[in-house]
Amino acid sequence: MVYALPNLTDDSYFITLMIFSGINAIVAIGLCILMGSAGQVSLGQAGFYGIGAYASSVLSQSFGLPVVISMLCAAVISGIAAVILAAPSLRLKGHYLAVATLGFGEIIHIILNEFGPGGPSGFGDIPALSAGGFVLTTPAHVAWVVWGILLLLMIFSLNMLNARPGRALRALHGSETACNAMGLDVVGLKIKVFVLSAVYASIAGSLYAHYVSFISPSSFTLFHSVLLLMMVVLGGITTVWGGLVGAVIITLLPETLKAFEELDVLVYGLILTLSLLFLRRGIVPIVTAKIHSLLVRRNA
Amino acid sequence: MLTVFLQFLFSGLTVGSVYALVGMGFNIIYNATSIINLAQGEFVVIGGLLMWFFLESCKLPFLLAVALTILSAGLVALIMERLTIRPLKTNDLLIMIMVTVAVAIVMRGLLMFKFGKEPYSFAAFTEGDPLVIGGAVIQLQTLWVLGITGTCILALYAFFNLTIAGKAMRACSFDPTAASLVGIPVSRMIMFSFILSAMVGAIGGIAITPISLMEYDKGPMLAVKGFCAAMMGGLGRGRGAVVGGLTIGVLESMTAGYIHSGLKDAVALLILLSILFFRPAGLFGNAAMQRLKGH
């Protein structure tokens, strides 16, 4: 199993990549639910990621709160920001939320740049992940925790999507008018999903900050929001597995593309463009459909 | 006191003009397709950098360089529309907007590869002593920027209201099906709207570069601010974008001057968010409200 991998190797480079994949995957599955199920797009997910990182770091470092508590507080702050952002813009057509989130993400970046501790150069000495006196010291432990949290969130998301909220979301994707007619609170549902995705992003941001112990505003830019979007599109928005697969691929990609050096921006853009044009359904849905059709043919 | 105020006002109007041009670019495409082309800012960058390339690197005469730059921007837009927007054949606005974001990244990657990360500039269009009005110094290039913006606005207004092609493009925005029934080649009009908006953006880039320099990664911010300008005037309403752009430019410059320069970029975004929340049809219109309201 993937979750057992960190113990199989002492290669710290590999473990670091595992941790970053897991952190990105947490944001990506949240974005997946938002895009695939609620049909909304967010270009400001890095903003929530940044709030998670900064709020949790400041609370635990300057106010001495336990890391777990500050992570939860950060998630609450992100959730509130998400409600404030989503409530008015979700009443408008889809792309208005996209633009509002883009503006939101940039504002967060500017605020962190101007008023965040350390300004544009960021700050360090952020306490490591810990719970009840037990401090995570080795990267392998962090990898376990990150993928553990990811697993829990995956289970939660899959269950939610299979239960009543998930059915409501699928109905929403089918026909919003019909949903309204059936008495579903469409806007309320969309806001809840948006908050959920913001909380996921916030948790991931907190994990990132407490793992790397040094953060600066440059990690929370529009480019990062686009990267997160790319993970989801590449993996496939219709299933949360898509977010996971996409996150792992996009996180590992720069390592394999190192030969391109200065061209990395270009290659990223090309991959996103091509996957939008040719893999619009995403890797996971395409592969599962292939496997499904193979199985059906064999049974027939 | 007044001198400083005037100085801020003029510099605000200068950047504001470029926002207005970008905003009009958004409107042109939005009117023909209801797509929000987030690669709009990249065309301004293309305008500035290619102008430098033709003028300083190739040593071409000024007017030829201008013509080549504008044509190249149009060509890039043509390629973008033919290769990415048209093959999509989807009504999913989400996908279309994301494609424009992706294309913008590709363009930025190419520009960075060709020009690197340093800022570029070239000489102002005309040499001469700056004007002094009420103690405030106004560079001649500022007048060029304002004049060019005004000319673009008038030309676009004339195009959309007086020519058959312009009227046909507007018809596509009202109802593509009806437009194609009366024989308007809708797909060609969409392509044309991309080219036109790219050219407008490039003109803005050419005009502003001698004043504010140009680098490969200015696109997203320009796009955001141009979009704010378009939203402020009401998306799709040409003249609104002009007022919106100039307002944002002036407010920005005042914020930078009187409050805190780091907050300059936040102004436009705050305006954008408040408009989205309180007056989504823009400050000047409510006729478009019906079109904006989703349900």
Angle at A77 between CA A72 and CA A79, to 5 degrees: 90
Please indicate, yes or no, if residue B25 is contained in any of the structural domains.
Answer: yes
Q: What does pTM read for this prediction?
A: 0.82
Please indicate, yes or no, if residue B128 is contained in any of the structural domains.
Answer: no
Please report, to the nearest 10 degrees, the dihedral formed by the alpha carbons of residues B225, B229, B230, B233 taken in order. Answer: 160
Please indicate, yes or no, if residue B127 is contained in any of the structural domains.
Answer: no
Whether residue A99 and residue B272 make contact (CB cut-off 8 A), yes or no, is yes
Write phi, then psi, for A30 (nearest 5 degrees): -65, -45
3-state secondary structure of B293: strand
Residue with tokens 């010291």: A137
How do residues B54-111 score in pLDDT, each as one tens digit? 998 899 999 999 999 999 999 999 999 999 888 887 767 777 878 888 899 899 889 9
A39 → chain B, closest CA residue: B94
In this complex, how many residue pairs, one in chain A and one in chain B, have their CB atoms less than 8 Å apart? 134
CA–CA distance, B213 with B121 (Å, rounded to integer): 5
CA–CA distance, B91 with B93 (Å, rounded to integer): 6
pLDDT band at residue B275 using 50, 70 and 90 as cut-offs: confident
Please indicate, yes or no, if residue B125 is contained in any of the structural domains.
Answer: no
ipTM of the complex in this document: 0.77
Please give the pLDDT value at position A234.
Answer: 85
How do residues B157-199 score in pLDDT, each as one tens digit? 899 889 998 888 888 877 778 888 888 888 888 899 999 999 9
A203, A48 contact by CB (below 8 A): no
Whether residue A110 and residue B101 make contact (CB cut-off 8 A), yes or no, is no
CA–CA distance, B63 with B65 (Å, rounded to integer): 5
B6: CATH: 1.10.3470
Task: Give the pLDDT mean for B98-126.
Answer: 88
Asked if pLDDT for residue A51 goes beyond 90, the answer is yes
Please indicate, yes or no, if residue B18 is contained in any of the structural domains.
Answer: yes
Please give the pLDDT value at position B35.
Answer: 82
Q: How many domains does chain B have?
A: 1
Contacts of B98 (CB under 8 A, 6+ apart): A41, A229, A233, A272, A276
**Contacts A262 to B, Cβ<8 Å:** 112-113
Mean pLDDT of chain A: 85
Instruction: Show the domain range for B221.
Output: 2-118+133-292
3-state secondary structure of B138: strand
Please indicate, yes or no, if residue B269 is contained in any of the structural domains.
Answer: yes
Which of A95, A180, A276 has the CB atom closest to B102's CB atom?
Answer: A276
Please give the pLDDT value at position A9.
Answer: 54
Residue with tokens 């269009």: B125
**Contacts B292 to A, Cβ<8 Å:** 92-93, 96
Please give the pLDDT value at position A6.
Answer: 46
Please indicate, yes or no, if residue B124 is contained in any of the structural domains.
Answer: no
Give the pair of three-digit tokens for residue B275.
């408009």
Please give the pLDDT value at position B287.
Answer: 46
Which residues pair with residue B293 across a beta bridge?
A92
How do residues B218-228 score in pLDDT, each as one tens digit? 888 888 889 88
Please indicate, yes or no, if residue B78 is contained in any of the structural domains.
Answer: yes
